[in-house]
Amino acid sequence: MWNLNHIIYALILIAIFYFLIFEFYPYIFKKFILKLFKRFGLYIYFDGKGFIHPFYFKAINVHVKFQYKKEIDSFELDCESIEFKIKILPLIVGKVQIYDLYLSYPYLYYENKLNSFLKIQILPDQKRVCFKNFNIENGEVYVIDYLLPGPYKLRLTNINIKNAKMDLSTPINLLFFIEEGNANIEQGIITAKTNFKEKFPHGRLILKDVKWTSVMGIKIPFFGTKFDLDVFYKHHSSNSTYVKGFLHLTGKSQEDELGIPFEFIIYWKEYRLPMDLALQKLIEKIFETVQPTFIEKGILTIGKEVFDRIKKTPEK
């Protein structure tokens, strides 16, 4: 039987546990763990406690910088606020599930220097590290890729994402698992919307008035300066997604113009790739499955030849 002394002891233990978890842990994280990260070129600064407890992080004025060696990738991230939670039970079986992730006004500057094919081996196994309810408010991404001619530069602005899902092993799937989102790529617009309420979630991805130089880094003869892409997709399972869409070579699509049709199935096990290689693979799939008219076929053949010459290969 519990008596008054037992209750008092239990309350004292709870108070000690609360202090260790909610007060002492954030101190340890900021004073010791963050210093350990610096040895590997990762610098993290923020205001606030950060990890309020081991499974809940919340901070403002966040600055993250990674620069280990000159010959490998580096990045900087600034964010007004970051908040996320980590599920406890999946950790028992070696999986990490991050949910309720909110990034407010993030700015990411990324320099790509290392052969992307070498990065495949450091990607986690599928379903090992996942993000759920991933949200971005007024974000911006600026990427410089020194492995492509130019070097290739990509800037995405006005990024807003609501309730997205992403598997870290296949980051490209973020584009197909957004409840609602939009962004600007120079003067072009990208919008995405997915209906998760259906048994087989389905959605639509639209790229409108996007410059060819924005996605491929070069101009393609006879293609004009811009293009439109209208993609419909349906998730048959967590392993595959059916894709059907229309490509407009001139970027002047009208409501009554379907464009050049294409369709294929994404098997996600084949997309365990860094984002740049996965995007490249998607472009290859579109070129392979488009069904052009006689005149369009000649133009697309030229475009594919140009793309094949500049795309990344394991030897580069």
pLDDT digits (tens, 9 = 90+) for 223-257: 667 788 999 999 998 899 999 999 887 655 555 56
* Angstrom distance (rounded) from CA 178 to CA 164: 4
- When pLDDT is averaged across residues 129-139 and rounded to a whole number, the result is 96
pLDDT digits (tens, 9 = 90+) for 210-225: 887 777 666 666 566 7
Judged by average pLDDT, the poorest of 66-70, 182-186, 310-314 is: 310-314
Amino acid letter for position 250: T
Number of residues that this document lists for the chain:
316
| Under 8 Å between Cβ of 272 and 261 | no
Cα angle for residues 46, 83, 144 (degrees, 5° grid)? 70
Inter-axis angle of helices 275-289 and 294-310, nearest 10 = 150
pLDDT digits (tens, 9 = 90+) for 54-107: 788 999 999 999 988 888 899 999 999 999 999 988 888 889 999 999 999 999
